[in-house]
């Protein structure tokens, strides 16, 4: 699942809003990445988010990868299917 987000904060995505963003991302089991130009950052890492240096009016793309567990009746193992 992809979402494009525009940074509206006057100071950009500095430490305080970045920490709130990371705390929210860490509530999910899925893998969440942020794309900014050619750079990709792990949304669950404040260091990765801060390294992007996001300023006001810049756009980022949030990508969330999650999986659905399917049960195989014969072997009783779970198969993970990944979605983007």
Helix and strand totals (H; E) in the chain: 2, 5
| pTM for the full predicted model | 0.70
Q: Tell me: the pLDDT tens digits for 12-54?
A: 999 999 999 999 999 988 888 999 999 999 999 999 999 999 9
**Within 10 Å of residue 7's Cβ, how many Cβ atoms?**
18
Question: Which are the catalytic amino acids?
Answer: 14
Q: What residues does each domain of the chain span?
A: 2-83
Q: Which CATH entry fits the domain spanning 2-83: 3.30.1340.10, 3.40.50.300, 3.90.180.10, 2.60.40.10?
A: 3.30.1340.10
């Amino acid at each position: 699942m992809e979402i494009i987000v525009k940074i509206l904060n006057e100071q950009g995505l500095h430490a305080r809003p970045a920490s709130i963003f990371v705390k929210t991302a860490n509530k999910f089991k899925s893998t969440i990445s942020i794309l900014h130009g050619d750079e990709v950052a792990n949304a669950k890492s404040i260091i990765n988010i801060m390294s992007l240096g996001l300023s006001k009016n810049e756009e980022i793309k949030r990508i969330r990868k999650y999986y659905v567990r399917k049960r195989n009746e014969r072997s009783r193992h779970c198969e993970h299917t990944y979605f983007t």
